[in-house]
Amino acid sequence: MSIRLIFEKNTYLNDVQEIPRAFVPYITLSDDGENFLSWSHDISGDVFTFTIDSDLFGKKVYKDSFPAEDSLIFKKKTKYFAKNSLYLYLSQALGVKLPYGSLTGVRPTRMYAEIAKTSAEPKKVLIEEFSVFEKKAELIEKCALFQSKFINRDDKSVAIYVNIPFCPTRCSYCSFISTEVFRVKKELPIFVSCLKKDIETIFDVIDKKGYSVRSVYVGGGTPTSLGAELLSEVISPLSNLGCEFTVECGRPDTIDPSIIDVLLKNNVTRVSINPQTFLQKTLDLIGRKHSVDDVFRAFSLVKDTSLNVNCDLIAALPGETSEDFKYSLDTALALFPENITVHTLSIKRGSELNKDNFSKSAEGDALSMTDYSFTTLSDAGYSPYYMYRQKNTADNLENTGFCRDQKVCLYNVDTMEESCSILAAGAGAVSKLLEPGGKITRFSHPKGFREYIERVDDTEKRLKEFFLS
- Per CB under 6 A, which region of 36-44, 62-70, 152-160, 214-222 contacts ligand SF4? 214-222
- Per CB under 6 A, which region of 182-190, 219-227, 299-307, 454-462 contacts ligand SF4? 219-227
Of the pair 251, 270, the CB lying nearest ligand SF4 is at 251
Q: Rule CB under 6 A: is residue 74 a binding residue for ligand SF4?
A: no
Of the pair 167, 243, the CB lying nearest ligand SF4 is at 167
Q: Are residues 122 and 358 in contact, defined by beta-carbon separation less than 8 angstroms?
A: no
Q: Rule CB under 6 A: is residue 222 a binding residue for ligand SF4?
A: yes
Q: Rule CB under 6 A: is residue 223 a binding residue for ligand SF4?
A: no
Q: In sequence order, what are the residues at sequence separation of 6 or more whose Cβ sits closer than 8 angstroms to the Cβ of residue 77?
A: 66
- Per CB under 6 A, which region of 7-15, 41-49, 168-176, 429-437 contacts ligand SF4? 168-176
**Closest CB 274 distance from ligand SF4, rounded Å:** 7
Name the maximum alpha-carbon separation found in the chain. Answer: 71
Q: Using omega within 30 degrees of 0 as the cis cutoff, is the peptide bond preceding 221 cis?
A: yes
Strands 179-180 and 212-220: unpaired
Strands 244-248 and 270-272: parallel
For ligand SF4, the binding residue among 93, 111, 164, 171 (CB under 6 A) is 171
Q: Using omega within 30 degrees of 0 as the cis cutoff, is the peptide bond preceding 168 cis?
A: no
**Closest CB 250 distance from ligand SF4, rounded Å:** 5
Please list every residue from 148 through 167 that binds ligand SF4, using CB under 6 A: 167
Of the pair 220, 401, the CB lying nearest ligand SF4 is at 220
Question: Per-residue string for binding with ligand SF4, 177-196, x by CB under 6 A?
Answer: -x------------------
Calpha distance 168→164 (Å, rounded): 12
Q: Rule CB under 6 A: is residue 311 a binding residue for ligand SF4?
A: no
Q: Rule CB under 6 A: is residue 83 a binding residue for ligand SF4?
A: no
Q: Are residues 203 and 231 in contact, defined by beta-carbon separation less than 8 angstroms?
A: no
CA–CA distance from 349 to each of 32, 69, 354, 391, 404 (Å)? 22, 45, 6, 11, 34
Calpha distance 156→386 (Å, rounded): 22
Calpha distance 359→379 (Å, rounded): 32
Terminal C-alpha separation, the chain? 52
Calpha distance 209→314 (Å, rounded): 40
Q: Rule CB under 6 A: is residue 174 a binding residue for ligand SF4?
A: yes
Q: Rule CB under 6 A: is residue 251 a binding residue for ligand SF4?
A: yes
Of the pair 242, 448, the CB lying nearest ligand SF4 is at 448
For ligand SF4, the binding residue among 20, 99, 221, 446 (CB under 6 A) is 221
| Total interface residues for ligand SF4 by CB under 6 A | 11
Instruction: Return residues touching ligand SF4 (CB under 6 A).
Output: 167, 170-171, 174, 176, 178, 220-222, 250-251
